Amino acid sequence: MKDNFHFQLEGQSGRARAGRFRTPHGDLETPLFAPVGTQATVKAITPAQLEQMGASLVLANTYHLYLRPGDELVADLGGLHQFMHWPQPILTDSGGFQVFSLAESRVIDQDGVNFRSHLDGSLHRFTPEKVVAIQENLGADIIMVLDECAEPLDRIYNEEALMRTHAWAQRCLEAKTRSDQALFGIVQGGIFPELRAQSAEFIASLGFDGHAIGGLSVGERKADMHAMIEVVDQILPEDKPRYLMGVGTPEDIVQCIKRGIDLFDCVLPTRLGRNNAVFLRSGWQLNLKNAEYAGDKHPIDESCNCYTCQAFSRAYLRHLIQAKEMLAATLLSIHNLHTLIHLAKDLRDAILRGDFEEVAANLEFEHQASIEVDNNNSRNEASP
């Protein structure tokens, strides 16, 4: 395992970290933002486009790929890298979030969870051992333990879920057989500092290859999310990568890098792109369906060098939206993904140069209500 995976810090500014995580399919330079390819595809984007915009890590989802087309078929076809024609590192979420979002059709016990498929209602069961076996068939570089994502404000539920999450983490470690996959533990605990600290200490003690922070960006206040990250940051080991699951707006990336996070993923960039919306680096969102852009000759963002901004005007993009052309979703998603990928890259460069605090301070974020899209739960797109 040590030969296949190694994390090294290359620079630090306050709690912000620049690192390098070696995997069998290439080095990951952190901090980084990973596009979400739930069903072994990033919606509306080709693998070649992902490479052109500088993506280095893509996330796929165990729940969805287990149900369709099936993890054994993916294994027979050479694993996810061959199946989706992505040569760089892949991370698979365990499917725990998706299963636990099926509140009306799942039953949890100490051994695992029974659930009904959102596709056809068929009955299935996930245990820690089965989730590891599925991910070993899928063949991602980074795999996740099965955890229980509890409602963040419910103290009693979080206490109960934490016991299961910790027991399942141990069982996942024992079930893992492949040395060419890094297994990450997941810290839970809602918005309760003592539970987060307890979880971080326990998960860190088990010797995972990296650590994820789950159960955030699911309805809690931003201040609570930041506070929980700060609790965990003081406990998790410095020599392992830290992955904040399902979080990714420009402001979130800056604020959470400040607090020691290395890896991010989020469905929001492509979800916004399919809903006529783009964000600027300032965090401001534009709804390009609005009539004010009908004759606008400017690109989405004058300072952006993505393919969309270099080639097309807001007027053309609005035309595609009005005409219901599929290209609209592709071009808007390219811009949104490029914005987050390169924001993380630029902040990494700032950490290495030693001027991260100054660069971060100059990123003044503007706020507005969400645009016809629920931005609060940033992992819903990967839900059934």
Annotation marks residue 154 as catalytic: no
SS3 helix, strand, coil % of the chain, rounded to 5? 40, 20, 40
Q: Residue 244: phi, psi to the nearest 5?
A: -95, 115
Burial 221-248, CB ≥16 within 10 A → b, else e: eeebbbbbbebbbebbeeebbbbbbbbb
Catalytic residue among 71, 262, 265, 301: 265
Catalytic residue among 93, 141, 209, 301: 93
One-letter amino acid at 23 equals T
Apex CA 100: angle with CA 95 and CA 104, to 5°?
A: 135
Q: Which DSSP letter does residue 366 get?
A: P
Residue of 248, 169, 177, 250 lying closest to 210 (CA atoms): 169
Identify any residues that bridge with 210 across adjacent strands, giving them in sequence order: 184
Active site annotation includes 265: yes
Q: Are strands 263-266 and 242-244 parallel, antiparallel or unpaired?
A: parallel
Residues classed as catalytic: 93, 265
